[in-house]
Amino acid sequence: MSAPTIILSAPQGWGKTRQKAALQVEFKCRHVIDDWHPSLGTCPGALHLTSMHPGDLEDFGIAPEDIHRRGWPCARDMHRPQRAQAGNIYTPLLSLLLSIFAAVLLGLLLASSFHLDTFTISDHSTEVAVAQDLEDAQRGEQQRQRLNVMARAICGNAEWEELGSGAIQCNPRHGLKPYAVRLAGAQP
């Protein structure tokens, strides 16, 4: 007499692996194939243990009468268990992480709020005025240096003084008469 080929479907955690020796004796099979999948095909005379739902096994073309059901409540009338969608596992975790992120962001905002209160937007008018004054001072110094160079060229080693309106007066030493000179290109 040959050993029967049996497919036993029971939910995961039902104890198929733990009880496989007793099930092998019960069904009078020669050997046991644990964690079997229909895509592997059947082995004659073997007990095939699977946690696939009987309805899923039927989708693989296995006749309902060839499936031994254990542990499935109302196995023939029961709807297939809903398969978990991959996104559903992460939804609570994502929600928790977003809540933590929002709390940290709020804490940082509150901690830095005193900086925001003291922050003022400047139009830089003060800096512009200071820069303009500095440029004017530099321009004036350059004009004085040019005037000094021209006066030294005209008066030589004699002392000189600025008369205004682009004129200088040379005051020579040794009793010579002072003389005034109007500089070319000088602005009155």
pLDDT, mean of residues 31-59: 90
Q: How confident is the model at residue 179 (pLDDT cuts 50, 70, 90)?
A: confident
Phi and psi at residue 73, to the nearest 5° = -65, 130
Write down which residue in 19, 41, 69 finishes a domain.
69
Write down which residue in 69, 92, 107 finishes a domain.
69
Tell me, yes or no, whether 1 lies in a domain.
no
Per-residue confidence (pLDDT) for residue 114, from 0 to 100? 66
Domain count, the chain: 2
Contacts of 156 by beta carbon, 8 Å cutoff, 6+ apart: 170, 172
Write down which residue in 51, 69, 87 finishes a domain.
69
Instruction: Count CA atoms within 13 Å of residue 116 on its CB side.
Output: 6
Per-residue confidence (pLDDT) for residue 73, from 0 to 100? 76
Tell me, yes or no, whether 127 lies in a domain.
no
* Residue 92 to residue 73: CA distance in whole angstroms: 29
Q: What is the pLDDT of residues 57-109, one digit of tens each?
A: 888 888 888 889 888 876 454 555 555 444 456 677 777 888 899 999 888 88
Residue 86 or 16, more confident: 16
85 is written with which tokens?
């969608």
Per-residue confidence (pLDDT) for residue 129, from 0 to 100? 86
Q: What is the pLDDT of residues 103-152, one digit of tens each?
A: 998 888 877 766 666 656 667 778 888 889 999 999 989 988 888 888 88
- Domain that includes residue 40, residue range: 6-69
Tell me, yes or no, whether 162 lies in a domain.
yes
